[in-house]
């Protein structure tokens, strides 16, 4: 059976990892290759790079980051942030990214999902949804780094994404992100049960139990983790042996 994936997320700004692994040697702290290599050795099943550069020049460096990482690390790489066109997607994929993740541009122009899936295959196209709770069992889609409400219902949007050919959903709870008090299980389960493509849960992980809950009760196929790993509160081997003990298949 396919193993549940543990995915570290690294923020990249102007070609450098920010808030990455807290290495003692600060010289390598911002190096994307060092960060990715560290997690790959620890047993990460994939790595997500999120480009948070504010300028066009900054974004251009992302292609170099991917290329350098893909030359030495042989696990799947996903890149998100600032991807607006089929050309952007093509550039990243042809330089070593396996998947791209789109959020704001998918909402503004859903055709990018359809065209991307047709040209590169569904397995390359991840759509990220930032969800904010607006009522009992109801969430709204936010874009532009969680700043702008769209009026769109998360479940409806998730179904639409699937029908357009996306291969995966990266689902972040805006309410839970940064709180460390657990994933939004209800949100994750609602989305996962309403689509037939894999769902990656994100936002709110604070302890081992949270990961188990997202997988078993939230029905997530993968979990995205950032600060918990970067600050060494948990390690990937620790997470995997815990999940394995609980009867969940992981790649050790």
Partner 1 sequence: MVGIVKYGAGNIFSVMASVKKIKKDCYFIENEDDIEKAEYIILPGVGNFSEGIEFLNKRRLNEKIKEKIKNGVPFLGICLGLQMLFEYSEEGNKEGMKILKGKVVRFKNINLKIPHMGWNSLKILKNNYLLEEIPENPYFYFAHSYYVLPEENDIIYGKTEYGINFSSLIIKENIVGVQFHPEKSGENGLKFIRNFLEKKWLQ
Cβ neighbors of 24 (< 8 A, separation 6 or more) are none
β partners of residue 100? 79, 125
Q: Which of 88, 98, 130, 213 is catalytic?
A: 130
**Where does this chain touch partner 1 (CB under 8 A) — which range of 17-25, 118-126, 177-185, 228-236?**
118-126
Rounded Cα distance, 239 and 215, in Å: 12
181 is catalytic: no
Q: Where are the alpha helices (DSSP H) in the chain?
A: 32-42, 56-72, 86-93, 104-108, 111-120, 154-164, 185-194, 208-216, 227-230, 236-245
Q: Are 116 and 88 in contact (CB under 8 A)?
A: no
Q: Exactly one of 84, 122, 150, 241 binds partner 1 (CB under 8 A); which one?
A: 122
**Where does this chain touch partner 1 (CB under 8 A) — which range of 15-23, 194-202, 207-215, 236-244?**
194-202
Q: Which is nearer to partner 1, 120 or 142 (CB)?
A: 120
- Give the x/- contact pattern for partner 1 in 152-171, rule: CB under 8 A: ---------------xx---
- Give the x/- contact pattern for partner 1 in 66-95, rule: CB under 8 A: -x--xxx-xxx-------------x--xxx
Pairing of strands 138-143, 168-173: unpaired
Give least dist CB 148 to partner 1, A: 29
Q: Are 192 and 218 in contact (CB under 8 A)?
A: yes
Return the active site residues: 11, 130
Residues of this chain that interact with partner 1 (CB under 8 A) are 1-5, 40, 45, 67, 70-72, 74-76, 90, 93-98, 118-124, 167-168, 196-199, 221-222, 251
């Amino acid at each position: 059976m396919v193993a549940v994936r543990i995915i570290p997320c690294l923020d990249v700004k102007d070609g450098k990892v920010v808030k990455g692994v807290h290495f003692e040697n600060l010289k390598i702290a911002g190096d994307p290759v060092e960060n990715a290599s560290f997690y790959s050795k620890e047993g990460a099943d994939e790595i997500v790079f999120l480009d948070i550069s504010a300028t066009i020049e900054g974004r251009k460096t992302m292609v170099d980051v991917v290329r350098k990482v893909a030359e030495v690390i042989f696990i799947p790489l996903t890149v998100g942030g600032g991807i607006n066109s089929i050309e952007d997607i093509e550039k990243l994929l042809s330089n070593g990214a396996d998947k791209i993740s789109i959020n704001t541009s998918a909402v503004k122009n859903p055709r990018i999902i359809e065209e991307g899936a047709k040209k590169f295959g569904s397995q390359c196209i991840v759509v990220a949804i930032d969800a904010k709770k607006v009522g009992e069992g109801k969430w709204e889609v936010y874009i532009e780094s969680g700043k702008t409400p769209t009026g769109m219902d998360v479940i409806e949007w998730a179904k639409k994404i699937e029908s357009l050919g996306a291969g995966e959903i990266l689902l972040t709870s805006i309410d839970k992100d940064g709180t460390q008090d657990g994933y939004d299980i209800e949100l994750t389960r609602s989305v996962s049960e309403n689509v037939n493509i894999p769902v990656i849960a994100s936002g709110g992980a604070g302890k081992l139990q949270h990961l188990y809950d997202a997988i078993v009760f939230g029905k997530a196929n993968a979990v995205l983790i950032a600060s918990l790993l970067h600050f060494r509160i948990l390690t990937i081997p620790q997470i995997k042996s815990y999940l394995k003990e609980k009867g969940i298949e992981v790649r050790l």
